[in-house]
């Protein structure tokens, strides 16, 4: 298990701002946090090197890409053995419809978030890519009506501040819309 990194209030403020808009310039970040741009650059570099910042992602609207139906597939694999788990996960991750794969405890082994064109496409995916696999014992499908992003992820015990509990700050252009990811 990875060790926690000690973060001070300036680090926390930078993380809140970057989680809200990762494209913010170092000059703008520095002005909002109250440090010099060179200090801001050094701090963000340290946060990257320490593994706190994992990367940057471009978010796309699945509906605008012809994948307007999203679902969660609960998958049970039997037998649940390492030699089957690795190839199963790699195959599911390689599917263009797969958005996220979670390995779980409990009655289901995996939760897979998928984005497809329509109900027929979802049926094809479930039948051809999941239930046709010999290790898949069961698949349960739940459609996603709508989803929302929550506030920034901060360490336990960090002060709420902007975007904390009681007032999540939506990312620029974010709206409560189906498929917002």
DSSP 8-state assignment for residue 170: P
88 within some domain: yes
178 within some domain: no
Q: In this structure, what CATH number is given to the domain that contains residue 28?
A: 1.10.10.10
Residue 72 and residue 38 share a domain: no
pLDDT of residue 158: 76
109 within some domain: yes
Residue 91 and residue 30 share a domain: no
Cα separation, 178 vs 42, whole angstroms: 38
Q: Which tokens in the block code for residue 52? A: 């706190």
Phi, psi of 133 (to 5 degrees): -80, 135
| pLDDT (tens place) for every residue of the chain, 181 residues total | 568 888 999 999 999 999 989 999 999 999 999 999 999 999 999 999 999 999 988 889 999 999 999 999 999 999 988 898 999 999 999 999 999 999 999 999 999 999 999 999 999 999 999 999 999 999 999 999 999 988 888 888 777 655 443 334 444 444 443 344 3
Distances (CA, A) of 168 to 16, 34, 107, 152, 160: 10, 22, 33, 8, 10
DSSP 8-state assignment for residue 137: E
| Secondary element (H or E) of residue 30 | helix 26-33
Residue 84 and residue 134 share a domain: yes
pLDDT of residue 7: 93
Q: What range does the domain containing 98 cover?
A: 62-144
How much is the pTM? 0.77
pLDDT of residue 156: 80
Residue 116 and residue 44 share a domain: no
158 within some domain: no
Q: In this structure, what CATH number is given to the domain that contains residue 98?
A: 3.30.70.920
pLDDT of residue 159: 72
pLDDT of residue 1: 56
């Amino acid at each position: 298990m990875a060790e926690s990194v000690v973060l001070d209030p300036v680090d926390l403020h930078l993380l809140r701002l970057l989680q809200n808009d990762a494209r913010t310039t170092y000059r703008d970040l520095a002005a909002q946090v109250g440090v010099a741009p060179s200090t801001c650059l050094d701090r963000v570099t340290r946060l990257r090197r320490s593994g706190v910042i994992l990367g940057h992602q471009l978010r796309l609207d699945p509906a605008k890409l012809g994948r307007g139906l999203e679902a969660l597939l609960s998958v049970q694999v039997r037998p649940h053995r390492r030699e089957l788990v690795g190839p199963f996960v790699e195959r599911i991750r390689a599917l263009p419809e797969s958005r996220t794969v979670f390995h779980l405890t409990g009655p289901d082994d995996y939760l897979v978030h998928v984005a497809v064109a329509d109900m027929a496409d979802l049926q094809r995916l479930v039948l051809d890519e999941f239930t046709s696999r010999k290790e898949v014992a069961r698949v349960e499908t739940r459609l996603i009506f709508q989803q929302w992003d929550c506030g920034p992820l901060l360490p336990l015990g960090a002060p709420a501040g902007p975007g904390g509990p009681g007032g999540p700050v939506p990312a620029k252009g974010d709206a409560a819309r189906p498929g917002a990811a």
